[in-house]
Amino acid sequence: MTMTKIIRGRFAPSPSGRLHVGNMASSLLAWLDARSLGGEMIFRLEDLDPERSYMDYARLMAEDLRWLGLDWDAGWPGDEGYSQGERTEYYREAFDELERRGLIYKCWCSRAERLAASAPHPGEEHPGSCKCRFLEGEELNARLRGKRPPAYKCAVPDEDVTIIDGHCGEHTRNLARQGGDFIVRRSDGVYAYQLAVSVDDALMGVTRVVRAEDLLSSAPRQRWLIETLGYTAPDYAHAPLLTAPDGRKLSKRDGDLNMAELRKLYTPEELTGRLAYLCGLIDRIEPVAPCELVPHFTWAKVPCGEIDISGVF
Ligand code: GLU
């Protein structure tokens, strides 16, 4: 008997603002990618950061995707366990597992120190690790006795990890030299994005991760983390970033051309037509429903690099 692999994609928005035109383009591509392969979609709410999560935005995000014609088979808010706020237990288990393997260390660096940390030098024994990893004796005890709670970092090996991105092609990063050790639990106890997203994609059986290209550099690290935890990593495809006419990356928090405005200006088919045109899926701007794009979808049509939205929006 042959087992057919279930194809499962995901929407994974953080509720930090209303979805903007770039988020909608990535969401459309994620949905087309999964549906064109006969796959499922899930909706996972990435409300990990309590300071930046607003439930009103979360509800609007789900509604905006449905309004456009993008659906999913399971997820927030109807199903339990699809918001990161409910999943701390899973992140703790993964954290404990990494700790058992000796990969976790406490870090007291300030934000400024982390940003200022110089690039690793050739020949360094532990490139990508900060000085906190090697604290010992009185210096370590003083930190442990101090009032400032540490963050927790995961130590990565000096190793190249390659992903074959469904859109951008081969992408290799050396974990230690390009990125280095990363925070898995913040000093306020909140588990960090890289750990949470890797655990969720693994445990939710996600096989296709489609998201904007600004996260391409995180994919090798996430693949390594998932495999280190004993799971199979998904396939990745990173969608082109849409940029404002001045070249700036669009941002949810800046309120860039978002769904509040877009829904006043266009019908769902008109908006889908504009997004599809920008993404190279149709030759001219005309109304189209997402489901009509499914049979002809291929990443080969989608341009590489950034896409300027001027002239279309
Ligand atoms: N939650 C992230 C966002 O809204 C996306 C994370 C991911 O797709 O891995 O930008």
Counted residue by residue, the chain has a size of 313
Phi, psi of 89 (to 5 degrees): -60, -40
For each of the chain's 313 residues, which pLDDT tens digit applies?
566 789 999 999 999 999 999 999 999 999 999 999 999 999 999 999 888 889 999 999 999 999 999 999 999 999 999 999 999 999 999 999 999 999 999 999 988 787 776 566 666 778 899 999 999 999 999 999 999 999 999 999 999 999 999 999 999 999 999 999 999 999 999 999 999 999 999 999 999 999 999 999 999 999 999 999 999 999 999 999 999 878 787 777 666 789 999 999 999 999 999 999 999 999 999 999 999 999 999 999 999 999 999 889 9
Give the rounded distance of the alpha carbon of 96 from its chain centre: 23
Element (H, E) at 98: helix 88-100
- Tokens 């920008």 belong to residue: 278
Going by C-alpha positions, the residue among 191, 206, 192 that lies closest to residue 43 is: 206
Distance from Cα 211 to the centre of ligand 1, integer Å:
7
Pocket of ligand 1 (CB under 6 A): 12-14, 46, 197, 211, 215
| Distance (Å) from CA 212 to ligand 1 centroid | 8
Atom of ligand 1 nearest to the CA of 209: 8
Top mutation candidate among 215, 216, 221, 223 for ligand 1, by most atoms within 8 Å of CB: 215
Q: Is 105 helix (H, G, I), strand (E, B) or coil?
A: strand
Q: Which atom of ligand 1 is nearest to the CA of 222?
A: 9
Sequence-distant (6+) residues with CB within 8 A of 171 are 162, 163, 164, 165, 216, 219, 220
Cα–Cα distance between 36 and 61 in angstroms, integer? Answer: 23
- Angle among Cα 210, 155, 152 to the nearest 5 degrees reads 90
Chain centroid, CA 25 distance in Å: 15
Ligand 1, residues 211, 249, 252: which to mutate, most atoms within 8 A of Cβ?
Answer: 211
Q: Which residue from 208, 196, 215 is spatially nearest to 232, judged by alpha carbons? A: 208
Read off the tokens for 99. 């700790």
Q: Is the pTM of this model over 0.75?
A: yes
3-state secondary structure 36-57: HCCCEEEECECCCCHHHCCHHH
How far does the centroid of ligand 1 lie from the alpha carbon of residue 215, in Å?
8
The predicted structure's pLDDT at residue 271 = 98
The closest-lying atom of ligand 1 relative to the alpha carbon of residue 201 is 9
